[in-house]
Amino acid sequence: MRKITTVLNLVLLLSMALTACGAPATTAPVPAEPAATEAQAVDPEAPAEPAAEVPAADPYGKYDEAIVLTSVRSFETNETLPDGDTPENNQYTRYVKDQLNIDVEYIWTSSTADYDQKVNLTIASNDLPDAMVVNLSQLTQMVQADQLADLTEVYNTYVSSSVKQMMDSSKGIALDAVTFDGKIMAIPALTVPDDGYQLMWIRKDWLDKLGLPIPTTIDEIEKTAEAFVTQNVSGNDIGTIGILGPQNGGVLYADFQRPTNGNFAFDPIFSAYRAYPGFWIKDSSGNVAYGATQPETKAALAKLADLYEKGLIDPEMAVRKDSAAPIAAGNVGIYFGEWWNGYWPLPDAIKNDPTANWQAYAVPLDEDGMWNPHQGTPATSFVVVRKGYEHPEAAMKIVNLFNRDESKFDLTKGSLANEVLRIPQAMYDEGNVTYQALMDVLADKTNPEDYKDPKYAPYKLLADDVTKIKLVKLEPIDNMDIQYWDPQADLSAWSRMYSILVGDGAIYNPIGGSDKVNVVFSETYATTPTMVDKWVNLKKMEDETFLKIILGQLPIDAFDQFVTDWKAQGGDEITAEVQATVK
């Protein structure tokens, strides 16, 4: 796989093109060579009669007879579905049945935290469903094990015009990630760059109550968390959590294989020390090295251990079953999460306390006033089809369907995470374009009718968004505090609008200014040969050591022994492979 070398100075301000919905056509097989006409049988030189026009394959074509597609899926354990609905049977599975005549049968479901592990076991046992979603490492392993169907013809024949335009907008990066020996072996996601950032979400109403400013540095965040805890600003009998942490099975930070995996993690604290423990970076000598072995990571771990010892990080970190629960209960002051948190976990918090003023900021800044977020490759998850499945095009049709019709679903009856074969499908600049459109409509610079212009057709949710923004956003339009919103008018619309204007707004209007943003990319997002055999054990050692350091179960100097062991147990070999790849 090619190394992704595009470095974006300010990725949050860049634009690319998005998807346009494709028009359905009629399904037909590719015809065989035409038989000779009666005239040609008599006279071979006679001109051939015009061949009948062959309709193109339909990217949304419904099967005449029902087919079965087996799969697996993850789900948020705290999500509430309507009575009678389950992770296996809901508005999304029924939509696939209605539109495509595909019966989706889940072999197993799991919590989001356990999904990767269960997929790994499924791959190892070769007991594969017909189609499923995997990460980059798993995709590489399955290709090497010859477990996957070649989807080249499927993609070229059945990809919808909207999905193709989206893929093309990545300048080849998305398809390169799934092309092995010239064959397309998976359907890649295309995530917006916004998904790679983790922001500080904070109870601004608590800041106002205590007369505190917005904290922008590690030291200021520590002082704010201390005030929240010592003054028990939540008023809860069990006390206030200053800074929330990952739940049991969660991660401490994202990594190069899962660069958008960061809700409730500590990525922003690491990046304030210019530490990127899950990424391949350039070290102080200019050589490619694994971030978890660098001195900056040790410094960040020492700070996290200090915050935990002082009781400013959730005492139940890594033990708690569900980190979203104390947010809903109004017991948390600060956590780090994605721009889309208006979808989850904030709706439950607002239902329970309409005054809970959760706001997002692009902090903490480092000692030079820089915000140093990391970024991932646009393709972070992939739909794969097992080799030998009779209907490999079914997976492509399902991806096309949800790409086209995503805005039709009622998110109060199940989040988009319930989509069958869910992979993000969005324009690279979708968030930025949508944010600006919503602000322009609110300011009456434009009106919803303007966004029916064909140039906006690739933005699949935009036409719906601009019609709903004034329903949920109240005056003044430039104040995003919760009292200037009306979630009850349309909770589903509020979830999206709040995510864009508050979450994305923090990215597009960084608190330190756009010239104070330093976006860091991993030097590679690929899996090397030695990683296939040794990475699982190395990552387990890394995760266990770092967690124990933060919890005070190991001294900070245990980091040095970890580095020695990591190198000796395959790390040096993997590093050499990575260095050879990125030269």
Looking at the fold, whether 220 and 272 belong to one and the same domain comes out as yes
**Residue 39 in domain:** no
Last residue of a domain, one of 496, 512, 528: 512
Residue 392 has pLDDT above 50, yes or no: yes
Determine what percent of the chain is predicted with pLDDT higher than 90.
70
How far apart CA 316 and CA 345 sit, in angstroms, is: 18
* Any domain includes 179: yes
Which residue among 388, 418, 448 closes a domain? 418
Rounded Cα gap, residues 458 and 512, in angstroms:
32
* Residue type for position 114: D
Structural domain contains residue 424? no
Q: 173 and 241 share a domain?
A: no
Q: Residues 274, 326: one domain?
A: yes
Yes or no: say if 362 and 511 are a contact pair by the CB < 8 Å rule: yes
The 10s digit of each residue's pLDDT in 64-92 is: 999 999 999 988 767 788 999 988 899 99
Number of domains, the chain: 3
Please identify, among 361, 396, 418, the residue that sits at the C-terminal boundary of a domain. 418
Residue 47 pLDDT exceeds 70: no
Scan for tokens 């050879």, then name that residue: 580
Residues 98 and 133 in one domain: yes
CATH of the domain at 178: 3.40.190.10
Do residue 207 and residue 117 come from a single domain?
Answer: no
Q: Are 226 and 344 contained in the same domain? A: yes
30: in domain: no
Q: How confident is the model at residue 169 (pLDDT cuts 50, 70, 90)?
A: confident
Whether 33 is covered by a domain: the verdict is no
- Together in a domain, 336 and 204: yes
**Between residues 367 and 458, which one has the greater pLDDT?**
367
Residue 157 tokens, joined: 């024949």
* Residue of 110 and 560 predicted with greater confidence: 560
User: Per-residue confidence at 232, pLDDT binned at 50, 70, 90?
Assistant: very high
The pTM of the full predicted model, rounded to 2 decimals, is: 0.76
Give the list of residues 6+ apart from residue 322 with CB closer than 8 angstroms, or none.
77, 78, 247
- The length of the chain in residues reads 583
Residue 11 within any structural domain of the chain = no
Contact (CB, 8 A) for 339 and 191: no
Same structural domain for residues 401 and 450?
Answer: no
Predicted pLDDT of residue 56: 64
Q: Is the pLDDT of residue 37 over 90?
A: no
Residue-range definition of the domain harbouring residue 466: 430-512
Instruction: Provide the pLDDT confidence category of residue 261 given band limits of 50, 70 and 90.
Output: confident
Q: Does residue 265 form part of some domain? A: yes
Q: Is residue 15 one of the residues assigned to a domain?
A: no
- Count other C-beta atoms under 10 Å from residue 446's C-beta: 16
User: How large is the average pLDDT for residues 480-501?
Assistant: 96
Strands (E), 76-150: 102-111, 131-134
Rounded to the nearest 10 degrees, what angle do helices 529-550 and 295-309 cross at? 30
Q: Both 203 and 341 in a single domain?
A: yes
